[in-house]
Each structure stands twice: as C-alpha cells, then as structure tokens.
A = this chain, B = another copy of it.
Amino acid sequence: MMTRLRLSDCGLSTGKRARLQRILYQHGLRNGTALFLPYDQGLEHGPRDFFDNPDSADPRYIVRLAVEGGFNGIAVQIGLAEKFYWDFAGEVPLVLKLNGKTDIPSDHHALSPLHATVEDAVRLGADAVGYTLYVGTPAHEADFTQFHRVRQDARRFGMPLIVWAYPRGEAVDAKGGKDSFYAVHYAARVASELGADVVKVNFPHPEKRAGVPAPYAGEYSSQDAIDAVVRAANRTLVLISGGGRADDEAMLDKAQESMAAGATGLIFGRNVWQRDHDESLRFIDRLREVLAKHPTP
C-alpha cells in the first residue's frame, strides 16, 4: 500500500496550503482524505441526468446533500454557485468549475470554454477551482493557452487548481479510447507537468488495449494501473472520478484500489445522487468507510 501525500510535502504556497488544509482536515473525515460531490452534469450532459431522481434537478437539494453527507467539497458551475451557495456558504467547501460545455456537438475537437475566473472563485469564497483539460484533443493549443491563464491566476490568488484531466478527441479514440490505462496514465502526468495541484482522472482500464502504444499492450491488473497513475501524478494529489452510474460493489472496489494506490480521494456524482435521498446517504456511508481506512499519516 502506497502512502498518501502530505500537504507539507507538495511544494504548495501558503494560500493553496491553507485552502487544501481546510478541505482535507476541517471537513469530511478530517483525516486528509476527500470525498467530493460534482454537479456539473446539467451543463455537460443536460437535465436528462436528473430523470432517475427528479429531486436531483434542484441544486439546493444537492448542496444540502453535500452538507448532510459530510462531503469535503461540491463542484459546480458559476451560475449555480452564484444562486445556491450563499445559503450554505462556508458549510461545505466550494470548488468552482471554470469551464464546461454541452455534449450536443461532437467531441472530435473537444475544447471546454471558460465561463468563470479564479477571481470569481475568490469572490465566492471557494476553496478550489476546477478546469477540464482535454488531453489529446486537436484543440489542445487553445486548451493549453486558456489553462495557462487559469494556472497563473490560481497561483496569484493562492487558489488550489484541480484539473479534470480527460483524454478526448479523434486521436484518443484511435489509441484505446478515453479510459485506457495509456490515456489515463498520460493524462495524470500532463496535469502534473502543466501545474495542477490536484488531478481528477477516471479509473484506468488496462484491458482496453486496442490501438494503445506498445508498453500498454501487456497484462496489467487494475491495481497496477491505478498505482502507476498516482505515481505519474507525483506531488499532484489524485482524485478518482465515479463516472456514469454503475454497480455499487464495483464502485467500492474502485474506491478501495484507488485509496490503496495513494489517491487522496473520490469525486462521485451520478453514483451518489441518481438514487433517492436515503439510498444516497447509505452509499455515502460506505464510501466514507473506505476513506476512513486510508488516513493520511
């Protein structure tokens, strides 16, 4: 089992450290692990994601769920942050998502345009910002350029920068797809190399080998893969995405392997709120049990 990074070992500035300290030690289990609730699907996929649990269409329901469930933070777009965070300001840390897009046009040249700034995040009392970087997209020049500005602002304001490192675009599709071990491994490293403080990745699938470069064509267990992903991120904290709704036991296994690999935590949305309120809380409890076994020493 790998050890989790301590904040004092990450080369963080004072402000970034102060804010991550608050997230990791004054919320959730207060043991250096993290459970985040992402809620940007209304933009990314549209309100069809809320059909399974109609209550989930209401951002107030979700923010309250984050408070009740003892999350370490909630990630939303600017519009919801402006309208809904005031009611619970400071009760659960806010991660302001700075870019986003709809899924209506194709993802072949994916680029997620900015619609908020790090200064918005400061103004709203957020403790971190989120940026989606489409690793491998043909639009990567525009992506790197706007990421560059975000990183500079995050540094200037001492704001932790969480990168949603998502392999995307025609070339990714041709080389094993967006959740191959190759793609996730590479994405984690790119985030680290470009200056992320925290990186959010999908759980890697080493069995997806069609078209991947030779070194990834071998046999790897999922534990091998996630271990490598966390190592690739080096001093960048790692969060594992939940992705679309899946079987509970499978999700818990992923969580367990991720934490064992030294990830800092989990960021699970649809698997949490695409079920009714009480079921959500029961599933959250099981996730917290996993985190409780992996405190940062």
Residues of A in contact with B (beta carbons under 8 Å apart)? 10-11, 13-22, 25-26, 40, 42-43, 46-48, 50-51, 54, 57-60, 76-87, 89-91, 94, 100-102, 104-106, 111, 113-117, 119-120, 122-125, 135-138, 140-142, 144-145, 147-148, 151-152, 155-158, 167, 169-172, 175, 182, 185-186, 188-196, 213, 215-216, 228, 231-232, 234-236
Residue of B at shortest CB range from A139? B141
B18 touches A158 (CB 8 A): no
Q: How far is the CB of A168 from chain B (nearest CB, A)?
A: 10
Contacts of A113 in B (CB 8 A): 140-142, 144-145, 148
Q: Which of B14, B50, B115 contacts A147 (CB 8 A)?
A: B115
A17-B125, A42-B189, A47-B186 given; 14 more Cβ-contact pairs under 8 Å: A11-B83, A14-B89, A18-B85, A18-B94, A46-B189, A48-B185, A48-B186, A54-B231, A59-B234, A79-B191, A80-B234, A104-B140, A105-B137, A105-B171
Q: Measured between alpha carbons, how far is A54 from B148 in the docked complex, in Å?
A: 29
Contact: B148 with A47, CB < 8 Å? no
Which among B83, B102, B135, B157 is the interface contact of A102 at CB below 8 angstroms?
B135
Contact indicator B157/A123 (Cβ below 8 Å): yes
Q: In the complex, how many angstroms separate the beta carbon of A260 from the nearest chain B beta carbon? A: 18
Q: Is the CB of A124 within 8 A of B15?
A: yes
A131 CB → nearest B CB, Å: 12
Minimal beta-carbon separation of A117 from chain B (angstroms): 8
Q: Which residue of B lies closest to A49 (CB)?
A: B215
In contact, A148 and B115 (Cβ under 8 angstroms): yes
Is B47 within 8 A of A79, CB to CB? no
